[in-house]
Structure 1
Amino acid sequence: MKNKWSCLAVACLATLLLSLDLTVLHLALPRLVADLGASSTQLLWIGDMYGFALAGLLVTMGNVGDRIGRKRLLLIGTVAFGAASAITAYAPTPELLIAARALLGVAGATIMPSTLSIIRNVFTDPGERTAAIGVWSGMSAAGFAIGPVVGGLLLDHFWWGSVFLINVPIMALVLVAGLLVLPESRNPDAGRLDLASVALSFAGIVAVVYAVKEAAHQGVGRADVLLAGLAGVALLALFGWRQTRLPEPLIDVRLFARRAFSASILTNLLAIFAMSAMMLMFAWYLQLVLGWSPLQAGLAQLPGGLSGAVGGVLAAKLIPYLGRNGVVALGLAMNAGSFLYYATLSTELNYLALLPVMVVGGMGVGFAFTVNNDNVLATAPRQRAGAAAAVSETAFELGAALGIAILGTVLTSAYRANLELPAGVPGEAAGESLAGALGVAATLPAGQADALVRAAQAAFLDGVHLTSLVTAGLLVAVAVLALVGLRGVPKVIPEDVLAGAR
């Protein structure tokens, strides 16, 4: 196919924008509060609603694309994403903004699995397929890194809605290019979409993601968190059982019996678990400890994200020498090494020393994501590419939520345990978080304020050190898992050999 690299460019542009949209909102939240008068609860829903809708519908939309055509679904999603972005940018109330974010999530769920499944169907040569997925993974990593920078630049000159309005011209470009160059592909033997499975998957995934996110904010002991978590696990178990009894399931659960598929899904989930914690930790560290602006913090993290893009491209070249399990294990080990360095951070930062560490860690993430995504797509039947891509993307979303919830809780708990408040300082707000302590310090006399800031930053750094060591240990364990779980997977996975006949 002469225009397959043009197809890759369209898929990468859509992926870049979706990844950027996951992080660009963070910097706009303070202005949302000021302009719309959003309450703390509404603010949480504004931040979380996109992820709820996205994660809950990925599996369904991946199957829809297999049935009605991946190009068609991508183009429908592109129009919907552009329209929802415009509604979001001009939302006059918090309630409408929450609804618009839900529409963005629905549209994003149509685009994400479509991009990967189109790549799977266009690139039939195994070597080219791996290289293409490397470029795609690199664009995804680059979007995460660019998001805070783009957000900072826009917010320096425009209102908060500009971080969403920028999506409109980019999605228009994706729409026109997609109409011109993308081929259509679908599963010719797809059966009816089982609506009961759709409902079970959506409700189960949303309940689990909700429980994880709320546990990070409110703790695991709340009744609604426990009920949501238990209900989500039960619904997903019922979903899995139902899939074994359907002639055309949403997810062929037999795929998980294939070591390359299941080990790659689990490894990706745990890798993004660590990556999301790093982004959260650095955002707080650079702004609250070092006092950098949001734009400075975004620019400081940019090399790490861009090196992930480089790692994605280089991964395919390393497979012939190290094997698939070796490349994934190497990438995770590189990332683990970067977290060992983060365990030495202090109130004084030598950025030139930090820079190569971030680059090495980011490149390692690119290695792991590229090979794992290629494993997932190559070991699933080509006609089920959308469903397989959706499983991979769902694991990505769940891993990000778990990372922020669990490792964010480790960081916060360590801060609270190590904080030693100066005499006469009220402990409730200062003891909750470093941001709370800095807010209290702004109301105190100079001497007390300085003592509180030093104590809070020291306690926070203790939390950073503990979180970094825990994450490094986890990554080493996952690297061992990859070495064992992906052992024996061919360096070149031939078309449909592991996947079975078309």
Structure 2
Amino acid sequence: MNKAPEMPRAGRREWIGLAVLALPCILYSMDMTVLNLAVPALSADLKPSSAQLLWIVDIYGFLVAGALITMGTLGDRIGRRKLLLIGATAFGLASVFAAFATSAEMLIAARAILGVAAATLAPSTLSLLRNMFHDPKERTFAIGVWISSYSAGAAIGPVVGGVLLAYFWWGSVFLIAVPVMLLLLVVAPFLLPEFRDSNAGRLDIPSAILSLTAVLAVIYGIKWVAEWGFGVPAILTIAAGLALGYVFVRRQKGLDDPLIDIGLFRRPAFSAALLTNLLSLFVAFGAFLFIAQYLQLVLDLTPLQAGLWSLPSSLAFIVGSMMTGKLTALARPAFVMAGGLLLAAIGFAAIAWAARAENLVAVIAAFTVFSLGLAPVFTLTTDLIIGTAPPERAGAASAISETGAELGGALGIAVLGSIVTAVYRGTMRADGLAEIPASMVETARDTLGGARAVASELPDALGAPLLATARAAFTEGLVLASLISAAIAILTTLLILGILRREGTSGPAEEAEKPLPATAS
């Protein structure tokens, strides 16, 4: 039996470079969370319409998802460090533009630029890790740090945002990015090597347009379902996105230098890891959203209190990610992932019990358990996706991974959100609200937030029972969504054990990998 050649170990420069790469990831995650806190203040200042406010919140995520594939492949062609620096510059300038926006239209434009710039960060940073860390165990640890940085950003975002909003105007939440991006621009050229595919051809513009419009259409349709339910507009939009995606795939098969290598999907490890990652994010995003609402709307915590109570789950996610390397030294990645998903299933089931009991400590404990379980899953699936791709295609593979993550999160919010909404509206029956004006009943049946607003306008004799009924209805929806998430986690475990049980921490491409020469740019 031939022993695989030993891979070169990372040096001091690579480990310091890992810390540098964590900076944009933290900001990427923070920018997804801090805006929610600033919405009331910016609404009072800019007075956006309801449609404009929706676009202010959504346009960032839409363009991140839509531009990932193009940006990941572009990094393979022009250089991953160069793309990271271009994206960091654009992100910093767009953050200043957003902070000092004087109209809703300006803020929407700034958020759109931020989304495109952010789409350069994840594939650039992840693909650089692929080329900086050749040893499989070191790369697994590095990817754990990379994933932890997103969790850290999500954890500190609400806290930092809350402090800034207590002392400064709403635009201050965007200026957090400026000093960090300036630091990245100063140190990255010295600490990060440059990698590019020297044999890559020109970027196929029609393919880039097809990928952008296909992903945007699907994400927009899914979000439509999450907010307004299934309907003809949502179905047509998703169908159009899938049709464009089919045209995109057909075009890639006929190109000498495609935007993404369709052959990657023929590798069982790649496809199974991608699907596992998508399903894991499906259950995670839905849970994050509904637990945040539960803490504030059912248990009456303030946004800052809810953010602080969520810190244990974020810390558990970081611990789980950092421990992944040690766990894979004891067992194969498939068994580590299966164990993590089973632990997550226990956490989801515990959420169902704790939510009904309205036990804050138990809810946070269950939240922490499933976060701890899912962390190794995200780390190892990302490692497998990147490890099975050839080094020169690391940017494209990273972009596919991140696009799958965006789709998984959007699907989780839409599907699980539709389930929670259906249970809520079904429980909030009009015959139990006979003494409340019809217009108020419709508002109360729409969302739990609407019910709270209606209850505050009613006498206590009517408002208190209405609010109790609405809270119970939302809780029942959360219980059902949690049990479904537990079932999905168990089914995903079976998928992993069936396909990935023989996979190591490195994919087939690892044995043939040779470090690419660094090229200055």
User: What amino acid is the match of 1:138?
Assistant: S
Whether 1:136 and 2:136 are equivalent positions in the alignment is no
- Report if aligned partners of 1:380, 1:499 keep a CA contact under 8 Å in 2: no
Following the alignment from structure 1 to structure 2, what is the Cα–Cα distance between the partners of residues 376 and 499? 15
Q: CA deviation at 1:147?
A: 2.1
Following the alignment from structure 1 to structure 2, what is the Cα–Cα distance between the partners of residues 229 and 392? 20
Using the size of structure 1 for normalisation, the TM-score is 0.96
Partner of 1:197: 207
Whether 1:282 and 2:294 are equivalent positions in the alignment is no
User: Is the alpha carbon distance of 1:162 and 1:347 closer, same or farther for their aligned partners in structure 2, counting shifts above 3 Å?
Assistant: farther
Following the alignment from structure 2 to structure 1, what is the Cα–Cα distance between the partners of residues 159 and 294? 17
Following the alignment from structure 2 to structure 1, what is the Cα–Cα distance between the partners of residues 302 and 42? 18
- Report if aligned partners of 1:340, 1:468 keep a CA contact under 8 Å in 2: yes
Deviation track 1:352-411 (CA, whole Å, cap 9, x = no partner) reads 434433322112121001101110111000011100000001111111111111111111
Partner of 2:483: 469
- Report if aligned partners of 1:380, 1:498 keep a CA contact under 8 Å in 2: no
Whether 1:80 and 2:90 are equivalent positions in the alignment is yes
- Report if aligned partners of 2:84, 2:124 keep a CA contact under 8 Å in 1: yes
Following the alignment from structure 2 to structure 1, what is the Cα–Cα distance between the partners of residues 300 and 369? 25
Match of 2:177 among 156, 167, 175: 167
Following the alignment from structure 1 to structure 2, what is the Cα–Cα distance between the partners of residues 253 and 395? 15
- Report if aligned partners of 1:274, 1:403 keep a CA contact under 8 Å in 2: yes
Following the alignment from structure 2 to structure 1, what is the Cα–Cα distance between the partners of residues 230 and 357? 35
Partner of 1:7: 17
- Report if aligned partners of 1:289, 1:347 keep a CA contact under 8 Å in 2: no
Match of 2:369 among 342, 360, 379: 360
User: What amino acid is the match of 2:192?
Assistant: L
Number of residue pairs aligned between Structure 1 and Structure 2: 501
Q: CA deviation at 1:190?
A: 0.4
- Report if aligned partners of 1:200, 1:239 keep a CA contact under 8 Å in 2: yes
Whether 1:380 and 2:364 are equivalent positions in the alignment is no
Partner of 1:343: 352
Give ranges in structure 1 of 5+ residues lacking alignment. none
Deviation track 1:61-98 (CA, whole Å, cap 9, x = no partner) reads 11111111111110111110000011111111111111
Partner of 2:324: 315
User: What amino acid is the match of 2:149?
Assistant: M
Alignment of 1:72-471 (within 5 A): 72-221=82-231, 223-346=232-355, 349-420=358-429, 421-426=432-437, 427-471=441-485
Q: CA deviation at 1:346?
A: 4.2
Deviates more, 1:20-29 or 1:182-191: 20-29
Deviates more, 1:353-362 or 1:90-99: 353-362
Whether 1:487 and 2:501 are equivalent positions in the alignment is yes
User: What amino acid is the match of 1:199?
Assistant: I
- Report if aligned partners of 1:193, 1:250 keep a CA contact under 8 Å in 2: yes
Give ranges in structure 2 of 5+ residues lacking alignment. 1-10, 517-521
Q: CA deviation at 1:500?
A: 10
- Report if aligned partners of 1:315, 1:370 keep a CA contact under 8 Å in 2: yes
Partner of 2:37: 27
- Report if aligned partners of 1:308, 1:365 keep a CA contact under 8 Å in 2: yes
2:353 is paired with a residue of what secondary structure? coil
Q: CA deviation at 1:163?
A: 1.4
Q: CA deviation at 1:209?
A: 0.5
Q: CA deviation at 1:166?
A: 0.9
- Report if aligned partners of 1:125, 1:495 keep a CA contact under 8 Å in 2: no
Following the alignment from structure 1 to structure 2, what is the Cα–Cα distance between the partners of residues 124 and 450? 61
Deviates more, 1:94-103 or 1:337-346: 337-346
Following the alignment from structure 1 to structure 2, what is the Cα–Cα distance between the partners of residues 468 and 145? 22
1:188 is paired with a residue of what secondary structure? coil
Q: CA deviation at 1:498?
A: 7.2
- Report if aligned partners of 1:290, 1:347 keep a CA contact under 8 Å in 2: no
User: What amino acid is the match of 2:117?
Assistant: A
- Report if aligned partners of 1:77, 1:108 keep a CA contact under 8 Å in 2: yes
Q: CA deviation at 1:492?
A: 4.6
Following the alignment from structure 1 to structure 2, what is the Cα–Cα distance between the partners of residues 485 and 102? 39
2:434 is paired with a residue of what secondary structure? coil
Deviation track 1:223-267 (CA, whole Å, cap 9, x = no partner) reads 332221111000011111111111111111110111111111111
Following the alignment from structure 1 to structure 2, what is the Cα–Cα distance between the partners of residues 258 and 415? 42
- Report if aligned partners of 2:65, 2:403 keep a CA contact under 8 Å in 1: yes
Q: CA deviation at 1:13?
A: 1.3
Q: CA deviation at 1:324?
A: 1.2
User: Is the alpha carbon distance of 1:346 and 1:392 closer, same or farther for their aligned partners in structure 2, counting shifts above 3 Å?
Assistant: closer
Deviates more, 1:140-149 or 1:230-239: 140-149
User: Is the alpha carbon distance of 1:324 and 1:136 closer, same or farther for their aligned partners in structure 2, counting shifts above 3 Å?
Assistant: same
Q: CA deviation at 1:316?
A: 1.3
Deviation track 1:433-462 (CA, whole Å, cap 9, x = no partner) reads 111011111111111111111111111111
1:399 is paired with a residue of what secondary structure? helix
- Report if aligned partners of 1:320, 1:491 keep a CA contact under 8 Å in 2: no
User: Is the alpha carbon distance of 1:182 and 1:491 closer, same or farther for their aligned partners in structure 2, counting shifts above 3 Å?
Assistant: closer
Whether 1:478 and 2:488 are equivalent positions in the alignment is no
- Report if aligned partners of 1:19, 1:141 keep a CA contact under 8 Å in 2: yes
Q: CA-atom RMSD, angstroms?
A: 1.7
Deviates more, 1:389-398 or 1:143-152: 143-152
Following the alignment from structure 2 to structure 1, what is the Cα–Cα distance between the partners of residues 211 and 33? 25
Deviation track 1:268-316 (CA, whole Å, cap 9, x = no partner) reads 1111111111111111111111111100011111111121111111111
Q: CA deviation at 1:499?
A: 7.2
User: Is the alpha carbon distance of 1:174 and 1:317 closer, same or farther for their aligned partners in structure 2, counting shifts above 3 Å?
Assistant: same
Using the size of structure 2 for normalisation, the TM-score is 0.93
Q: CA deviation at 1:430?
A: 0.6
Match of 1:55 among 54, 62, 65: 65
Q: Percent of aligned positions with the same letter in both sequences?
A: 48
- Report if aligned partners of 1:334, 1:361 keep a CA contact under 8 Å in 2: yes
